[in-house]
Chains A and B, each alone.
Chain A
Amino acid sequence: MALANSTWEQHWRALLGISAETAQGVVAAGAILVILFGVIIPAVGVVSYLFRKLGADLQARVGPNQAGAAGFLQGLADLLKLLQKQKMKSEVTSAESQREGSFWYFGHTLVLYSSLAVLPLGSVFLFVNTDMSAFLPFIAALAAVLATLFSGVARGGVASFLGVFRVSAQAVAGAVPALFALLCAGLGAGGFRWEAMAKAQGFYPWSWRVFVNPFELLAFLVFFASGMVLLSIPPFSSAHPSSDLRGGVLSGVFGRRFAWLSFSRTYALFLWSLISVVMFLGAWNLPGFLDGAPERERWVFVLELIVVLSKTVSLMLLAGWIERASPRLRTDHVTDLVWWVFMPAALVALIGTALWERLWGGP
């Protein structure tokens, strides 16, 4: 089925040098490959390196320093090591349940990667620009959590089930305020299309939604923090890593599976930071004087990409900074924090945004 909105198609045909006769599916596949290998993997790789190197500096450690200059290729070295790791004999789980667990992990990350098609990386990079675009990465993140639950159940054993309860309780707790905060962004922008959200803001910080409306600042804080809870990003990650010690959803994940899962979790943070930037922090907007520039189309996608990625990476580094500075919260403390603090804050933000838009908002 051909997508109704073909603006992306024209841009990508020009960018990839694909003729008009070539099928739309080929253009879409080419574009997704470019986004994956040209944007996502390098961006996630660089952020992972910065996390480790800056994180080590913050904790008075040396950090990666062996592979490549200043340890820049450490991620690649780790990947090669993980790919070679052999299977360990598990005394707890059977081969069938391990295979089933692997299947769910594969599903977990595949669902997450399906959000590649809806990533708002700029006006040219937009593929799916529907009235509910903003909900799609959100749903992908929820589906990914669901797959993690199934994988934990598939592993069998009490420890695994307990891990599943922890992950599910935390995911549900994080999802609800995040959804309310997302509604705030939609109310402020006048819709849930990525394009509408970008157009409701400008390049300069004073035109970003977080600074236009104080309730949206609150909504942004709730959205970002709840996303970290939903996706189990440190310091809200005790539901996932504690299982390494006591058994649980991640027990038995090593080697290739671990590489696959680690990358997907960094990608999940990237995804959440990116949509936060688009909804609240000025999206990919460029300075107004560039609108009338000659041959704007040729390099606008590069500039938009640089703007949106630099904001996304900064937000991820902020999350990394908080992670290094704070102890990991216990799962029940995390859920308490969400239900007692984030949830009321999200409701206040929603009501406040609605009133603000009614009183001082545009037509």
Chain B
Amino acid sequence: MKNKYSIFSLIKNALSDHENWQQAWGDPEPKKEYDAVIVGGGGHGLATAYYLAKKHNLTNIAVVEKGWIGGGNTGRNTTIIRSNYLWDASAGLYDHALKIWENLSQELNYNVMFSQRGVMNLAHNLQDVRDLKRRTHANRLNGIDAVWLETDEVKKFCPIINTSQDIRYPVLGGTLQRRAGTARHDAVAWGYARGANEMGVDIIQNCEVKGIKRNGDKVEGLETTKGFIKTKKIGVVAAGHSSVIANMAGIKLPLESKPLQALVSEPVKPIIDTVVMSNAVHAYVSQSDKGELVIGAGTDSYVSYTQRGSHNIVEDTLKAILELYPIFSRMKMLRQWGGIVDICPDASPIISKTNIKGLYFNCGWGTGGFKATPGSGDLFAHTIANDEPHKLNAAFNLNRFVSGDLVDEHGAAAVAH
């Protein structure tokens, strides 16, 4: 039984110089066999394991991770959480996640620092205005809070934005989702890992999957760098490397993996207390609790697994940022990095069974998977445990690329891809 984190445990451990904190999760060697194995120890994978154990009583399970948990895209994103998607299926999926976020710290007894500071999406041309107003109406019909702001209201909500109409990308208005915000990305992975481990889930780090053993159209287990693991159910949550795992199983996915970049500035005093996203210029800004500006850029146009990305992409993003926020002109950037995102042709995720019995994929989150972490884990766990999708992820099946029933969120979802 893990100790509960509270003000009293904090005081108690402070008195012993914080040297006696219990280990948050174990470091076991893999067993010979599990009821299910999750491939990928990021937020989505750990959340899947957590809900498999908590809601479906599957505790003889493992998460295998080739590096360390939360070391991939979970630790590389810009931590934006929102649910203002256009289509009903997406609205259902992302708002399910947002509702879990609202109580996640209490549920996990782990402070994920969820902050509902609002997310504002700017419109820079007349088509943006029409699209964003339409999305606001669609959101409200789905019970998601959304308001349209005129240019002066944008200025009032975030005074440092340059709302001059003479700039290259003038602000013609924007939408605001007040329930949206940010969370601490590492804490989400750690909180789920601690919670899952407490219920008996083995978290096996530095364990890379090398092959998937099939017997006809059923899975039998995984070849890993720590030996063979027998299992009847494999849930793959490998983000940018989903296609690599799919190739091992002999199937193809409709994905392309591309570098997506982000960067942070030197820390400064609080200057922007919300998240501002700009579709047309592909620039997002928020400020972390440490004071760094967290800036998201766009993806490169080509397939690459290099985790860096091109200089011209960040250059374009920073040009747009400087025009919108002249106050940042003398800021210095501290770090820049890339993550590999797996993008579907319709820019919506896949949470689905496959033609191989016991093989499940949760992938295709593209540039915006972090916000969905709790909902994705919950629905993927349901899909694995029941061998059937939940009604909220039924539309996000792999077969939609055959039937043509796509969930086209390209551009419609408030960010261009």
Query: Do A and B assemble together?
Result: no
* Residue positions of A touching B, CB distance < 8 A: none
